[in-house]
Chain A
Amino acid sequence: SAVISQKPSRDICQRGTSLTIQCQVDSQVTMMFWYRQQPGQSLTLIATANQGSEATYESGFVIDKFPISRPNLTFSTLTVSNMSPEDSSIYLCSVTGGSLSYNEQFFGPGTRLTVL
């Protein structure tokens, strides 16, 4: 398995501001993903973070709103830009591959974001 940490664990932000969430893994992984989990909703994939290149975004998510960085095989950031109350959610990173099984995604503990 893997030890995955996310910072911050929670935050309360004002409308119009931006928040950057960090995801750190204790081993090198092939793929890193960012999800949003809203109450009563499925995990929704935002994007796949690609090491050394631009992230691959899912339908309905754009780089200007959710810029992602992945400078190496153990670290990624997701920024939620120009936030509105609709962005209030739990944001999760997950990883797979590398020294880990390719059949399973391993999740971080999540970042609970509230936008006022």
Chain B
Amino acid sequence: QKEVEQDPGPLSVPEGAIVSLNCTYSNSAFQYFMWYRQYSRKGPELLMYTYSSGNKEDGRFTAQVDKSSKYISLFIRDSQPSDSATYLCAMSADSSASKIIFGSGTRLSIRP
């Protein structure tokens, strides 16, 4: 079993829809949870960073962590074509970025 599982998609939704992206994990030591966005032919960039359980909102993006279920989500409201990218969940057991485990990424396409 992989430490981090993520549905690869692709996921295609119309512009303006709410998007839900999810990951499950098996290692209960993970405390720090991230979402990276990767545009085609670019490196990943950090989108959201959360610690432990709960919600964090940043503009149209909300990251949600449920440690009891070992399940994390990223919600995108009012999705835009510019949100079309691959989204990778990532997590680590400590606050330093030296040992991050990445999901395989979900490819998202927003149709105008």
Complex contact A42–B44 (CB within 8 A): no
Contact-residue size bin, chain B (C-beta under 8 Å from the other chain):
20 to 34
Indicate if B96 sits at the interface (CB-CB under 8 A): yes
Count chain B CB atoms within 10 A of each CB in A43, A97, A101, A102 and give the residue with the most.
Answer: A43
Stretch at the interface among A14-22, A62-70, A72-80, A107-115: A107-115
Q: How far is the CB of A115 from chain B (nearest CB, A)?
A: 19
- A104 to chain B: which residues have CB within 8 Å? 34, 46, 49, 97
Q: Mark A22-66, 1 if CB is under 8 A from B, else 0.
A: 000000000100000000111100001000000000000000000
Partner-binding segment picked from B13-21, B53-61, B63-71, B98-106: B98-106
**SS of A interface (majority):** loop
Contact surface of A with B, Cβ cutoff 8 Å: 4, 31, 40-43, 48, 92, 94, 96-97, 101-110, 112
Give, as a whole number of angstroms, the nearest-CB distance from B51 to chain A: 9
Interface of B toward A, CB cutoff 8 Å = 2, 4, 6, 8, 32, 34, 41-46, 49, 88, 95-98, 100-105
Minimum-distance CB pairs A-B, first 4: A107-B43, A43-B102, A96-B97, A42-B104
